[in-house]
Amino acid sequence: MDCIFYFFGLFLQCDHYRRGIISGSSCKALCDQKTLTLHRCMSTSSTHQVYIGLWKDRPVVIKCGIEDPANVDGVPDTLPRPEMSLFDKPTRGTSMDEFKEMLHSFLKANLGEQPSLSVLVDRVITLADVNQDGKVSLAEAKSIWALLHINEFLLMVALQEKEHTPKLLGFCGDLYVTERVIHSSLYRLEVPHYLKAVIPEALSSSLNHWLAPSWPRRARITIGLLEFVEEVFHGSYGSFLICDASPHHVGYNAKYDCKMANLHSVASQAMVRAFLKGRRCENNADCIYGRDCTATCDRLVKQCNTEVVQPNLAKVCMLLQDYLLFGAPSDLRGDLEKQLRTCVTLSGLASQMEVHHSLVLNNLKTLLWKKISNTQYS
């Protein structure tokens, strides 16, 4: 675990807070009252620190993004940010109207032109106004501006009313606190990368099947995951793409309700298109955003096309082929297998997206609900 920045980073955060450089709804609890405590480091990267902690005895996750705000998670070459430039905007003398214009331009660049962006700007202003005095101080503005450059934080703000997104509980400077998703992966067993060469995949798969929740509970988690796909398909602030459909990013709570444990792999469609537009390529492998948001390469002009080939639903169904089919009721298995097979072949082309996407998703949800409705699992 890479937690080399723990003591220095925490000291620096509280030093900035006491000097009035940063602000946030969690600063007092973290630095003065000591009711927000960091316990266990979960990081595997020096560019994004993640800790399990407690806030007034409530289990929470504390995250601090120290990557370069010019880079997006999943896009190569994330580098530590120079501390001096982290809280350099907005500058002293910036008016509220100018700050709102900064926010609007930033959100438009990252989410695309959306009719409801002004609503999101107001949401960000309300979030920044920690002392709720109807004004935004320079420290409050610098803090929220730094946080918005962390992709996951931006998505949490944009998707905060969605049922399957972890709740944002507070922040301090560029550190933010979320609810803890008790089961942070679809599977309990994760083989470290350095052991994968010696542990057969069939063995780890069998162990995960044995440790997994009962099939009706997996069906309930699946329905929640499909609802999340619906939520981000055409949301209030545009469409979002899952650019690393890993079982380790999908979690669930004690009631077996799906919660996305990690939003770093999710990106706005506008951001992905901007990344791909005009990008030079020799083949499709040059047209990938994140791990698996892949577009095609136009070999005549040697530039990437901007439409991602595989939609969210097809990626999720690839996960579900393993997660949902083992242990499935015999009277359901045939239909389930058929629907998942149809689902994984979905194309990301605009001509298919609207009708096929909704139809396949709703058919799959209905099939699962019929089986678990009017039971203790519904």
- What does the block give as tokens for 343? 């689902």
Q: What angle do CA 186, 174, 19 make, to 5 degrees?
A: 150
Q: What angle do CA 69, 75, 77 make, to 5 degrees?
A: 70
Amino acid in the structure at residue 1: M
User: In whole angstroms, what is the distance from residue 48 CA to residue 310 CA?
Assistant: 28
| Upstream peptide bond of 216 is cis (omega within 30 degrees of 0) | no
Confidence of residue 70 (pLDDT cuts 50, 70, 90): very low
Answer with the residue of higher pLDDT: 239 or 204.
239
Pairing of strands 36-41, 48-55: antiparallel
User: In whole angstroms, what is the distance from residue 242 CA to residue 233 CA?
Assistant: 10
For residue 75, the model assigns a pLDDT of 54
Q: What is the pLDDT of residues 34-46, one digit of tens each?
A: 999 988 888 766 6
How many helices and strands (H and E) does the chain possess?
13, 12
304 — phi, psi (to 5°)? Answer: -75, 140
Q: Which of 228, 208, 246, 227 is nearest to 327 (CA)?
A: 208
Classify residue 41 by burial, with Cβ atoms within 10 Å: 0-12, 13-18, 19+.
middle
Largest Cα span, the chain: 68
End-to-end CA distance of the chain: 38
The pTM of the whole model exceeds 0.85: yes
In the numeric block, the tokens 């994004």 are attached to 48
pLDDT of residue 90 exceeding 50: yes
Outline where DSSP puts E strands in the chain: 36-41, 48-55, 58-65, 168-172, 175-179, 240-242, 250-252, 258-260, 266-268, 288-289, 293-298, 303-308
- What does the block give as tokens for 61? 């996750």
For residue 156, the model assigns a pLDDT of 94
Q: What is the pLDDT of residues 299-321, one digit of tens each?
A: 999 999 999 999 999 999 999 99
- What does the block give as tokens for 4? 């080399």
